[in-house]
Amino acid sequence: MKTIDLQKHTVRDLNQALHDQAVECTIREWEVLEPKGQHNIACGLDQNLAVDIKGHAGYFCAGMNKKAHVTIFGNAGQGVAENMMSGTVRVKGDASQAAGATAHGGLLVIEGNAGARCGISMKGVDIVVKGNVGHMSCFMGQAGSLVVCGDAGDALGDSLYETHIYVKGSVKSLGADCIEKEMREEHIEELTELLNRAGVEEDPKSFKRYGSARQLYNFKVDNASAY
Amino acid sequence: MCGIVGLYLKNKALESQLGALFTPMLIAMTDRGPDSAGFAIYGDEVPDGSTKLTLRHIDENYDWGSLAGSIKDDLDVTVDWFKNSKVAVFKVGCEAEVIQNYLAEKEADILILSAGQSIEILKEVGLPENIAETFNLASMKGSHIIGHTRMATESAVTMEGSHPFSTGQDLCLVHNGSLSNHNRLREELKREGVTFQTENDSEVAAGYLTNRLRKGDTLNEALQGALKDLDGFFTFTIGTRDGFAVVRDPIACKPAVMAETDDYVAMASEYQALTTLPGIENAKVWEPEPETIYVWERDQ
């Protein structure tokens, strides 16, 4: 295991060392000490690495992640795991706004609460939040799943495409074109698998499912003639 | 962009270290605001019936001693004063209105940066570390302090356009964000008798609060009004004589993070600015909710 102290090395040094592993993997396990809220830690990884960040991270931590498994032993700032492609990002504390924004794949687990716009424009990532999510979560979510074990804030799933949303607690309000939907057997199966992958113990039957009513402009075949 | 920082001490034993604890917080926000910086510090109170003012004059070599003498003679009151860099702090044995009216009449070139019993507002163009050094921030004592590092967007980089803005006696405001209806609102406030020194949008927010408080609103009521009437992006931190308040707009796209221990409550635009505080590793750290007013105040 390699340990890098971010009070002795720059984030750029750390990220370069992690990027070098994409060419030839010589060290699988990495430990990052004293992050002290710095931005862009462990961004753009492209190798099957395990990276443990021991403290609070700043903005965009583990952004663009591919294959790697990044764990933040603290809180994460804005845009954690934004545009992730694959791999796993786990936040032991809370995450700020836009967690998992635009992410295409992989699994993002937030063990605390997530702020506003969690999963905004998500394109295939699976996000499991043990606590609450803030307002406008899953805005324009296109694919993937968002699981919320606590409560959701205002305008959940506004202008939603095909992301599956599961919420155990209350939903303050639903966004435009987002509706509650029937929880069928296939959804219980999907949610069971998501909770298992995230290592979260909850009863899938206690969740409600939300999805797109498919009534907005893009869903109307009548509008096809505009192109 | 801009950076905001605030520190409110619950443990009075730390009051002698307020400036030293706060200096690295302000400097940590240089990336968010390298154009100018400023802070409002609360402490060294004058008794009821007396007023503390922070003053500047366009002439850097202005004779403050002679002004003190004139105030003493003309108003027949006690005057105690000291100079800190380009700013003079005056402690005058009369109500704020009396000395403010006197200065407005006698010395139009004097800018009153703050007035009250506790507050001192110090601000300047340049890098936060230079400003901290200029005013010897690290040696300052007090109960609480709020500060700002500015990346200018809506008006020029000047001392006057720097934050904090005074919003009344012992009150001030720092702002991260930008307001879109500040021009119309400024005109409305001018008609109601509020005066402005700049074209700055944040000064309009300060003027708005001043006007509401003057009309008898509580701080909470004034901030509820601000949430309704101010259009734009904002995280505000408002300094009061007894503590500070934090409020974010309903969309909350401007960042804010809070930390609390038995010794202090701190806020900053980014967690990076809190890392030098004692015991931060075990502090309760969270993001203030949008459209929610947070107030920390010591008991009277």
Q: pLDDT by residue (tens digit) across A32-56?
A: 999 999 999 999 999 999 999 999 9
Candidates B272, B275, B285; nearest CB to A75: B285
Candidates B251, B253, B270; nearest CB to A58: B270
ipTM of the complex: 0.87
Would you call A37 and B271 a contact, using CB atoms and an 8 Å cutoff?
yes
Could you tell me if A58 lies within 8 Å of chain B, comparing CB atoms?
yes
**B172 has catalytic annotation:** no
Q: Where in chain B is the domain with CATH 3.30.70.100?
A: 46-117
Would you call A36 and B272 a contact, using CB atoms and an 8 Å cutoff?
yes
B259 DSSP assignment: E
Could you tell me if B272 lies within 8 Å of chain A, comparing CB atoms?
yes
Tokens of A94: 């809370």
Closest CA–CA distance from residue B57 to any residue of chain A (Å): 40
pLDDT band (50, 70, 90) for residue B1: confident
Q: Which of residues 71-110 of A touch B (CB under 8 A)?
A: 75, 77-78, 93-94, 96-97
Q: Which of residues 159-198 of A touch B (CB under 8 A)?
A: none
- What is the reported pTM? 0.91
CATH of domain B3-45+122-297: 3.60.20.10
Nearest residue of chain B to residue A7 (CA atoms): B275
Domain boundaries, chain A: 2-226
Would you call B272 and A135 a contact, using CB atoms and an 8 Å cutoff?
no
Closest CA–CA distance from residue B232 to any residue of chain A (Å): 17
Candidates A58, A115, A135; nearest CB to B271: A58
pLDDT band (50, 70, 90) for residue B299: low
Architecture of domain B46-117: 2-Layer Sandwich (3.30)
Predicted local distance difference test score (pLDDT) of residue A137: 98
B76 DSSP assignment: -
Average pLDDT, chain B: 94
CA angle B176, B88, B24 (to 5 degrees): 40
Specify the pairing of strand A2-5 against strand A29-33.
parallel
Predicted local distance difference test score (pLDDT) of residue B298: 76
Please give the biggest Cα pair distance in chain B: 55
Tokens of A193: 């698998």
pLDDT over 60 (residue B210): yes
Q: Where in chain B is the domain with CATH 3.60.20.10?
A: 3-45+122-297
Phi/psi for B20 (5° steps) reads -65, -40
Could you tell me if B252 lies within 8 Å of chain A, comparing CB atoms?
yes
Query: pLDDT for B104-142, tens place per residue?
Result: 999 889 999 999 999 999 999 999 999 999 999 999 999
Tokens of B234: 């904002």
3-class DSSP string for A42-105: CCCCECCCEEEEECCECCCCCCCCECCEEEECCCECCCCCCCCCCCEEEECCCECCCCCCCCCC
Question: Which residue positions in chain A have pLDDT lower than 50?
Answer: none
Could you tell me if A44 lies within 8 Å of chain B, comparing CB atoms?
no
CATH of domain A2-226: 2.160.20.60
CA B284, CA B107: separation in Å to the nearest integer? Answer: 48
Q: How many CA atoms lie within 13 Å of B172's alpha carbon, on the beta-carbon side? A: 33
Tokens of B39: 């802070």
Predicted local distance difference test score (pLDDT) of residue B276: 96
Beta strands per DSSP E along chain B: 3-9, 36-42, 51-57, 79-84, 87-92, 110-116, 119-125, 144-150, 165-168, 171-179, 232-240, 243-248, 257-260, 264-268, 284-286, 293-297
- Please state the rounded mean pLDDT for residues B16-39: 96
